């Protein structure tokens, strides 16, 4: 589904090489975790996979389509309609309700308001926030905020869900709930890519990628993804 | 869009992103209503500009109307017709049939002939020392136009006019000089005796009458000799607002066969006068309002710039989830336009209230053109939109990755 071939990305005047000849392939239904120490290049890898950033060289194909020659407008439409994003800092719009934040994920993708509202309610209900749809996101706990962010990411029925340190700002209880939610989404057929520096979270992947000094390597999962999911995330 | 790009879209099954107008309006309005206090502070300049615009134009119009009302009542109801050449042979141009034609014009309240004899000796008895006083002869119509305010006695009428009764009306100052305090007293103009019919202290029109003695026009023939050259004119009182029209028609009514031989003096159009007053006030107010609106626009531009800086992450998120540059640009200019409109509407309300309160205190009738209110609100919105253009253009350059790392 997603294929990188010899992708490089360099930043700044000092030419820091964040990604070196990254080559990998992600299939439909994979639960891929990308781990590595801080500054290793794992977020750069996620940004390029999510079309939030462009490589300096190399090829990136989505469903066989090379993205290097696509315009920013088309890349934006791909992000909007094929991808969903969850960030460590949640990035919810303060002062708006949970429902409005989830709706925002569909504002730019041709979904009329009535349908948007219906979908947003259903999705919030599915992440366990059915009773808090009208709450101002400033009043929500960290775990609730991240669930709203996940609801926003999946409301548009994406093919791939990108999660950048989704549990980085959460306590252990909420971390567990968010991971269970991500596993549920994966079990429903969604391709999920999770960036994390937490080895425990990384071990949940059906495929585990490690990034160190810009070099991506893949290690074999301790258990196959379907087995992990079948056990409800208990390894 | 290139064919290759369209082919890629077909394979991936994606449609062009689209933001509905209703969503754009809603997104623009939400940022305004979520922080009403901040919005109010941001738009103070615009509020002041719109309020100044509406208030000063409203006050200018109200004053203009007030001036014009006073003008109508006091002066703008008077027309005077005289011969271009005093020695013109058409001596009958102010005869009764011609005056009747003039009186028949729509808008004429009263009209009549006046003859000014010039100064004549006036004295209480034939043996007393005379003093020179202007003598005016008027018919009943002209007397009605002048409308002297009688304090003692009464005025004369068509009976005295038709009988050539030697009666006279004295202004208060002349009566005091002669020591006359009651009607029926005899006075002498030249060597002709007249009975004082009344004493007046004021007139509605022709203030020169306050320095003259007034006799029936028919009696003036007894006071003139062949060498005298009395001056004739016709006085007309009109309904308010009709003076200019009557001024155009009077000469034709009196002397249709040679109307150019008559000279008509009508007061200036009060509407012109009002427009002049309003114009002066409006030029001043427009300048002040423009300055205030520019200050307001700068304020909104600052607020929008600050808003873009503080909302970098939000803008990055919107770009990440599919917003195009045009969507970001439209939203931010929509927000600044909404701010301008918000300030404009509040400013209009403040301006209208100011005009109403001022008029209430001064007992004037407030005159407010609602188009001015609409223009103020629209101008404020336009200034708001203009103020948002540069910050919005800058916001479109925000890249999602950089924004989301904040």
pLDDT (tens, 9 = 90+) of chain B, 406 residues, equals: 788 888 889 999 888 888 888 888 888 888 777 777 777 777 887 888 888 888 887 887 787 677 666 555 556 789 999 998 877 655 678 888 999 999 999 999 999 999 999 899 999 988 888 999 999 999 999 999 999 999 999 999 888 988 999 999 999 999 999 999 999 999 999 889 999 999 999 999 999 999 999 999 999 988 887 777 889 999 999 988 788 899 999 999 999 988 899 999 987 766 666 677 667 766 776 777 777 778 777 877 777 787 778 788 888 888 888 888 899 999 889 988 988 898 899 999 999 999 899 888 888 888 888 888 898 899 889 988 988 899 899 989 888 876 676 6
Q: How many A/B residue pairs have CB atoms within 8 Å?
A: 98
Distance between B359 CA and the closest CA of chain A, angstroms: 43
| Any domain includes B194 | yes
A65–B19: do the CB atoms touch at under 8 Å?
no
Same domain membership, residue B263 and residue B279: no
Tell me, what's the pLDDT at B91?
A: 62
Residue carrying the six token digits 């188009």: B371
Average pLDDT score over residue span A88-114: 88
Token reading at B53: 């615009």
Reference B368, options B65, B90, B92; nearest CA is B65
| Any domain includes B9 | no
| Any domain includes B360 | yes
A81–B23: do the CB atoms touch at under 8 Å?
no
The chain A residue lying nearest B16, using CA atoms, is A77
Cα A33 from chain centre:
10
A112–B1: do the CB atoms touch at under 8 Å?
no
Structural element, H or E, at residue B80: strand B78-83
| Any domain includes B3 | no
Average pLDDT score over residue span A157-182: 90
| Any domain includes B48 | yes
Reference B108, options B203, B233, B246; nearest CA is B246
Angle at A131 between CA A127 and CA A137, to 5 degrees: 75
Give the C-alpha separation, B147 to B135, whole Å: 17
Same domain membership, residue B281 and residue B370: yes
pTM for the model: 0.63
Average pLDDT score over residue span A14-24: 89
Q: Classify residue B135 as left (phi > 0), alpha (psi -120 to 50) or beta.
A: beta
Tell me, what's the pLDDT at B293?
A: 74
Q: Is B203 on the interface with A (CB under 8 A)?
A: no
B313–A89: do the CB atoms touch at under 8 Å?
yes
Decide: B43 and B296 in contact? Cβ < 8 Å: yes
Distances (CA, A) of B228 to B89, B115, B152, B213: 15, 12, 32, 18
Q: Is B37 on the interface with A (CB under 8 A)?
A: no
Same domain membership, residue B100 and residue B172: yes
Give the C-alpha separation, B90 to B262, whole Å: 10
- Domain final position from B251, B267, B283: B267
- Pairing type for strands A191-196 and A31-35 reads parallel
Give the C-alpha separation, B7 to A46, whole Å: 26
Q: Is A117 on the interface with B (CB under 8 A)?
A: no
Same domain membership, residue B252 and residue B186: yes
Same domain membership, residue B89 and residue B33: no
Tell me, what's the pLDDT at A48?
A: 95
Residue A81 is nearest to which of B8, B14, B401, comparing CB atoms? B14
Q: Looking at beta carbons, which residues of chain B come within 8 Å of A115?
A: none
B324–A78: do the CB atoms touch at under 8 Å?
no
Decide: A117 and A97 in contact? Cβ < 8 Å: no
Q: Is A52 on the interface with B (CB under 8 A)?
A: yes
Tell me, what's the pLDDT at A225?
A: 43
The chain B residue lying nearest A45, using CA atoms, is B401
Tell me, what's the pLDDT at A232?
A: 38
Same domain membership, residue B202 and residue B82: yes
The domain total for chain B is 2
Distances (CA, A) of B288 to A67, B294, B357, B382: 56, 10, 21, 17
Reference B241, options B369, B68, B99, B67; nearest CA is B68
| Any domain includes B380 | yes
- Within 10 A of A59 (CB to CB), how many other CB atoms are there? 14
Strand order in the sheet with A57-62: A16-26, A2-11, A57-62, A65-66
Distance between B382 CA and the closest CA of chain A, angstroms: 26
Candidate from A39-43, A189-193, B7-11, B15-19 with smallest mean pLDDT: B15-19
Token reading at B70: 């006073």
Largest CA distance in chain A: 50
| Any domain includes B295 | yes
Residue B322 is nearest to which of A50, A53, A109, comparing CB atoms? A109
Same domain membership, residue B340 and residue B289: yes
Tell me, what's the pLDDT at B101?
A: 93
Token reading at A201: 């979270």
- Domain final position from B267, B294, B317: B267
Tell me, what's the pLDDT at A219?
A: 79
Give the C-alpha separation, A210 to A212, whole Å: 7
Distance between A115 CA and the closest CA of chain B, angstroms: 13
Same domain membership, residue B279 and residue B142: no
| Any domain includes B12 | no
Q: Looking at beta carbons, which residues of chain B come within 8 Å of A70?
A: 5, 8
- pLDDT of A224 higher than 50: no
Tell which of A52, A78, A90, A95 to mutate to test the B interface (max B CBs under 10 Å).
A52
Tell me, what's the pLDDT at A228?
A: 40
Tell me, what's the pLDDT at A231?
A: 38
Same domain membership, residue B195 and residue B84: yes
Instruction: Give the mean pLDDT of chain A.
Output: 88
- Within 10 A of B110 (CB to CB), how many other CB atoms are there? 18
Range of the domain at B140: 77-267
A89–B324: do the CB atoms touch at under 8 Å?
no
Same domain membership, residue B237 and residue B154: yes
Token reading at B281: 């006030």
The DSSP 8-state label assigned to residue B267 in this structure reads P
Same domain membership, residue B354 and residue B314: yes
- Domain final position from B267, B285, B309: B267
- Pairing type for strands B192-203 and B148-153 reads antiparallel
Q: Is B18 on the interface with A (CB under 8 A)?
A: yes
Same domain membership, residue B82 and residue B55: no
Structural element, H or E, at residue B130: none
């Amino acid at each position: 589904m997603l294929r990188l071939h010899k992708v490089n990305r360099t930043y700044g005047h000092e030419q820091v090489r964040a990604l070196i000849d990254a080559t990998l392939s992600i299939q439909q239904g994979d639960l891929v975790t990308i781990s590595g120490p801080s500054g290793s290049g794992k977020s750069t890898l996620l940004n390029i996979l999510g079309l939030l950033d462009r490589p300096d060289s190399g090829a990136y194909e989505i469903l066989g389509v090379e993205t290097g020659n696509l315009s920013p407008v088309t890349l934006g439409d791909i992000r909007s309609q094929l991808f969903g994003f969850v960030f460590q800092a949640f990035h919810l719009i303060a002062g708006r309700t949970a429902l409005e934040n989830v709706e925002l994920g569909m504002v730019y993708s041709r979904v009329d308001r009535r349908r948007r509202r219906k979908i947003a309610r259903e999705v919030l209900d599915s992440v366990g926030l059915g009773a808090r749809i009208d709450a101002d996101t400033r009043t929500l706990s960290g775990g609730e905020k991240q669930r709203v962010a996940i609801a926003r990411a999946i409301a548009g029925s994406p093919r791939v869900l990108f999660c950048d340190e989704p549990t980085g700002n959460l306590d252990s209880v909420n971390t567990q709930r968010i991971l269970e939610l991500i596993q549920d989404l994966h079990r429903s057929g969604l391709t999920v890519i999770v960036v994390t520096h937490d080895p425990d979270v990384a071990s949940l992947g059906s495929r585990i990628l490690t990034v160190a000094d810009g070099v991506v390597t893949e290690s074999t999962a301790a258990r196959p993804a379907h087995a992990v999911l079948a056990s409800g995330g208990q390894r | 869009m290139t064919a290759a790009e369209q082919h890629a879209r077909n394979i991936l099954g994606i449609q062009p992103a689209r933001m509905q107008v209703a969503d754009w309006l809603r997104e623009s309005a939400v940022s305004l209503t979520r922080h009403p206090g901040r919005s109010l502070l941001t738009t103070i300049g615009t509020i002041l500009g719109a309020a100044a615009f509406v208030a000063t134009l409203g006050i200018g119009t109200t004053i203009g109307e007030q001036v014009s009302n006073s003008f109508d009542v006091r002066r703008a109801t008077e027309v005077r017709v005289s011969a271009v050449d005093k020695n013109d042979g058409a001596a009958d141009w102010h005869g009764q049939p011609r005056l009747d034609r003039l009186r028949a014009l729509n808008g004429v309240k009263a009209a009549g002939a006046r003859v000014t004899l010039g100064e004549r000796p006036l004295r209480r008895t034939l043996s007393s020392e005379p003093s020179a006083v202007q003598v005016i002869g008027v018919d009943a119509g002209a007397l009605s136009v002048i409308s002297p305010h009688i304090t003692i006695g009464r005025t004369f009428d068509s009976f005295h006019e038709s009988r050539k009764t030697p009666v006279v009306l004295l202004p208060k100052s002349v009566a005091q000089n002669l020591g006359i305090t009651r009607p029926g007293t005899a006075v002498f103009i030249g060597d002709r005796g007249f009975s004082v019919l009344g004493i007046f202290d004021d007139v509605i029109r022709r203030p020169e009458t306050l320095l003259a003695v007034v006799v029936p026009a028919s009696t003036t023939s007894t006071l003139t000799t062949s060498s005298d050259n009395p001056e004739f004119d016709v006085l007309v009182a009109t309904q308010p607002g009709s003076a200019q029209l009557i001024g155009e028609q009077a000469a034709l009514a009196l002397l249709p066969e040679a109307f150019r031989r008559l000279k008509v003096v009508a007061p200036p159009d009060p509407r012109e006068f009002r427009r002049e007053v309003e114009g002066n006030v409006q030029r001043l107010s427009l300048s002040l309002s423009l300055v205030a609106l520019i200050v307001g626009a700068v304020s909104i531009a600052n607020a929008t710039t600050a808003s873009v800086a503080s909302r970098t992450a939000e803008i990055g998120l919107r770009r990440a989830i599919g917003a195009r540059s045009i969507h970001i640009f439209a939203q931010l200019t929509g927000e600044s336009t909404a701010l301008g409109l918000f300030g404009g509407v509040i400013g209009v309300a403040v301006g209208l209230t100011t005009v109403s309160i001022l008029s209430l205190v001064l007992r004037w009738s407030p005159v407010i053109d609602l188009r001015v209110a609409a223009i103020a609100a629209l101008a404020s919105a336009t200034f708001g939109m203009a103020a948002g253009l540069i910050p919005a253009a800058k916001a479109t350059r925000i890249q999602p990755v950089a924004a989301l790392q904040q």
